[in-house]
Amino acid sequence: MTFQPPRTMMDFFRRSQGVWYTQRSVHHFDLVADQSGESLLYVEVLEATDDRCRAVCEQQGIDPQLAAGGASFMWQEHGKAEPPDPDKAAILVDIPQGAHQGKLLRNQGYVEKIPVVSRYWFAEDGVLTIETEYETNQGQERCWFLTEDFRVRAITVRMLGGIYMMTYCSERRLPQVQDLQAMANAHFT
């Protein structure tokens, strides 16, 4: 069967659910310390009725009835022993505006840690583009799945004086315990 990339935000969230190993290269165009490295990304799909989705909608002055659902994104430094803090999760809420586009409400942005509204759209080939206007920056993130378990993200951040930062991430879904057990059972049965 041929892989079909997601074309709606909720499908994108569902396909992203799980734990991802991320390798990132960060290129700053000023004298900021290198932030390249490895991390784990935890993604949880949220129903539209989830209290976290409702809270983000209310924070942004948007009717929660317009939400299709959302997702919680938590990052953890690779190799860190303790789990990520759910209170620091970025909560994204999908407000569709047509078949393959809409708005994303966020309790905190990727570039500036403030509540923000982004606009998104999916291209015919499944590439997701998210554009965000912050108080002093503009961010654009592009993300696409190469397979069900491997995806790529490219991010640019622009300030008034030009491009400030570019980031490239490759992300591989980590198998869960039940996946490993199923593979072992299939192999040894």
Closest to 70 (Cα-Cα) out of 9, 24, 147, 127: 9
pLDDT the model gives residue 150 = 97
Find the range with the poorest average confidence among 31-35, 116-120, 136-140. 31-35
pLDDT band for position 112 (cuts 50, 70, 90): low
pLDDT band for position 188 (cuts 50, 70, 90): confident
For each of the domains in the chain, give its residue range(s) and CATH number, in order of start: 9-188 (2.40.128.20)
Find the range with the poorest average confidence among 19-28, 57-66, 67-76, 159-168. 159-168
Distance (Å, whole) CA 43 – CA 19 = 6
Distance (Å, whole) CA 91 – CA 55 = 10
Handedness of CA 111, 113, 118, 123 (dihedral sign): positive
Q: Please state, as a whole number, how many other Cβ atoms lie within 10 Å of the Cβ of residue 171.
A: 23
When comparing pLDDT for 170 and 87, which is higher? Answer: 170
Residues 6+ away with beta carbon under 8 Å from 51: none
Q: What SS3 state is found at 162?
A: strand
Q: Give the pLDDT mean for 127-148.
A: 93
Closest to 153 (Cα-Cα) out of 29, 34, 39, 61: 39
The amino acid that residue 68 corresponds to is A
pLDDT the model gives residue 181 = 73
> pLDDT by residue (tens digit) across 139-183?
999 999 999 999 999 999 888 777 688 999 999 999 876 766 776
Q: What is the mean pLDDT of the chain?
A: 89
pTM summary value: 0.87
> pLDDT by residue (tens digit) across 33-57?
667 889 999 999 999 999 999 999 9
pLDDT the model gives residue 179 = 67
Q: Could you tell me how many residues make up the chain?
A: 189
